[in-house]
């Protein structure tokens, strides 16, 4: 989808929120200021008008490569982020791109969430845990209780204690698993 940001009635971003499936989007716009927001919604490219023909050719080549990798039928297209997608994390003083695979866990913190990275960094983001659960690849991330989503590839053990089950990650963190979620977690961890 080649999409402008400024349109009558709604913006290109508003239109993307209404589409029930994931698209390869290339923004073509006169605004240079919305590029970061475009990549936040996983745009494939961002072209500024007037469009240079060589630059358009690069975008079409990128689109062709992306279609080769994601050649699913429309009804099978998932809205989730793949394990190897880059995620935009907007914060008050910085904008950071991180790879989903580098997320260790996400914890609820009032109206925000804290994103803990494998390298020790932690980001506080104004997104709900429900938002993360809907967007992240469910084959790789699992909600283990009301307050936490974990990266399944970091789970080392599930331990049973008197107070209930806990999971242990590869870094030594121990996190409680709700009774409601233990079965789902065990099923996802079985290879």
Residue 78 confidence (pLDDT) above 70: no
Q: What is the pLDDT of residues 52-67, one digit of tens each?
A: 888 888 888 887 776 6
- The two three-digit tokens of residue 142, written as one number: 């699992």
Contact 69, 51 (CB under 8 A): no
Q: What is the pLDDT of residue 73?
A: 36
Q: Exposed, middle or buried, 122 (CB in 10 Å: 0-12/13-18/19+)?
A: exposed
Query: Whole-angstrom Cα distance, residue 125 to residue 146?
Result: 17
Q: What is the pTM of this model?
A: 0.57
Query: Whole-angstrom Cα distance, residue 90 to residue 59?
Result: 25
Contact 113, 125 (CB under 8 A): yes
Residue 20 confidence (pLDDT) above 80: no
Query: Whole-angstrom Cα distance, residue 175 to residue 159?
Result: 10
* The dihedral sign for the CA sequence 146, 152, 154, 156: positive
Q: What is the pLDDT of residue 108?
A: 95
Stretch (H or E) spanning 120 = none
Q: What is the pLDDT of residues 141-151, one digit of tens each?
A: 999 999 999 99
Of 19-28, 33-42, 129-138, the range with the lowest mean pLDDT is: 19-28
Strands (E), 58-189: 86-90, 95-99, 103-109, 112-117, 122-125, 141-145, 148-151, 155-161, 164-169, 174-176
């Amino acid at each position: 989808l080649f999409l402008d940001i400024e349109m009558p009635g709604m913006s290109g971003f508003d239109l993307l929120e209404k589409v029930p499936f994931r698209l390869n989007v290339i923004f073509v716009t006169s605004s240079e200021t919305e590029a970061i927001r475009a990549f936040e919604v996983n745009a494939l490219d961002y072209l500024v008008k007037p469009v240079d023909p060589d630059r358009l050719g690069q975008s079409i080549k990128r689109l062709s490569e992306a279609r080769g990798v994601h050649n699913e039928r429309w009804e099978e297209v998932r809205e989730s982020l793949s394990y190897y997608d880059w995620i935009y994390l907007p914060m008050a003083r910085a904008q950071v791109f991180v790879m989903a695979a580098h997320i260790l866990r996400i914890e609820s913190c009032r109206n925000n969430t804290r994103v803990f990275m494998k390298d020790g960094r932690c980001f506080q983001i104004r997104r709900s845990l429900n938002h993360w659960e809907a967007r992240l690849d469910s084959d790789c991330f699992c909600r283990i209780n009301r307050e936490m989503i974990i990266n399944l590839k970091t789970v080392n053990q599930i331990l049973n204690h008197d107070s209930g089950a806990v999971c242990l990650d590869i870094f030594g963190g121990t996190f409680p698993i709700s009774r409601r979620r233990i079965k789902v977690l065990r099923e996802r961890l079985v290879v």
